[in-house]
Amino acid sequence: MTTDLPIIRLRPKSKPQAIRHGFPWVFADELVVDRRTRAIPAGSFALLEDAERKPLGLATVNPNSKIIARIMDPDPEALITRDWIVTKIARAHEMRSRLFDQPFYRLIHAEADGLPGTIIDRFGDAAVIQPNAAWADRMIADIADALREVTGVTTVILNGQGRSRSLEGLEERTDVLSGEVSGPVQVQMNGAIYLADLTQGQKTGLFYDQRPNHAFGQRLAKGARVLDVFSHVGGFGLAALAAGAAHATCVDGSAAALELAHGGAKAMGCDDRLTTRQGDAFAQMEELLAEGAQFDVVICDPPAFAPSKPALEAGLRAYERVAKLAAPLVAPGGYLGLCSCSHAADLSAFRNASARGIGRGGRRMQLLHTGQAGPDHPTLPQLAETGYLKALFFRLDG
């Protein structure tokens, strides 16, 4: 019974309205943190009350994290069991099945799908789980069982790496929980073929969030010379080739990622139209500028330069520098796509940094299109972090 659970309580000056209206996090400075709270094992469950002892819901607690509590269920009598997880995954699966013809998508997008701190990406008969919250790490066996029951996948991989886990005080680990992985998985998306490394690749192996932005880039790419900077496994470059680009150049710091990009192009039968350049993206853009290279379409999709508020100022300078270096690489009348996956940099700040950089690069611009993540990455309106991705497409003159 939930009555056996410990009780955690908001401080008197904390505002419970946000929790009642759907905000899913409680920060450590908002909670009464006494010896009993500190003694709660990370990933355990507790009843959350406001300062007047009125229930706010069932939460998971991690005394090691700045996000000390995450709302699991607004019902304080809820039981977080395997069946509860099955219900959440089944609801998410039903929606993705309506949206996508093939089983390649983000199945669980953390808080927005009701499983706090938990990411699940599906790759056909395989799925990768990122348990980025302590409760999910403790219940990984139940999550994997529920996932197999709902979806029928046979191979389940735990990818326990990245900044989110370190912020939770969790160790890095990677494990094949069921099935086997014999090599990269082919993923068809927007007519392109990508190779996803589910065990050694970045994140879960592929970035599904860019799917609609790849599609918009394809509308600009027919017959074009395309430069894809920070390309990973060829995201925008392979999409452009699938749409009939004359040639694509992919730039990335990872030789392994570029090898997968070549593999995808070969599977598509167009590896003769793909060139890769391995090295620091900023240095590579500077080298291309020195070579006098220009492209009809240039798209830059860098990592999160501003993953937190303290990193915001430096991150915006980095985005401005990307735009400044990329703008001169665009042929007159060509197109520039700039992306940010930093939740700390909102759309307005990112757009302003990008415009400054383009101006400093000596170009005038029209903003054609603003994109975001696809519908398999739903947003929780109360939590800005779930709507992190921004994509801006410009046409450059002069």
Residues in the chain: 398
Cβ(232)–Cβ(202) below 8 Å = yes
Task: Please calculate the CA angle 245-249-251 and round it to the nearest 5 degrees.
Answer: 145
Cβ(262)–Cβ(276) below 8 Å = yes
Tell me, rounded to whole angstroms, the distance of Cα 329 from its chain centroid.
Answer: 27
CA-CA distances (angstroms) from residue 150 to 86, 88, 90, 127, 232? 7, 10, 6, 12, 31
Look at the block and give the residue holding tokens 């930093």: 342
- CA-nearest of 259, 213, 214 to 241 is 214
Q: Which of 270, 300, 339, 341 is catalytic?
A: 341
Which letter, b or e, does each residue of 217-250 get, where b requires 16 or more Cβ atoms within 10 Å of its Cβ?
Answer: bbebbeebbbbbbbbbbbbbbbbbbbbebebbbb
Active site residue 341: yes
Look at the block and give the residue holding tokens 């069982």: 145
| Calpha distance 327→339 (Å, rounded) | 14
Residues 6 or more apart from 310 whose CB is under 8 A from it? none
Catalytic residue numbers?
341
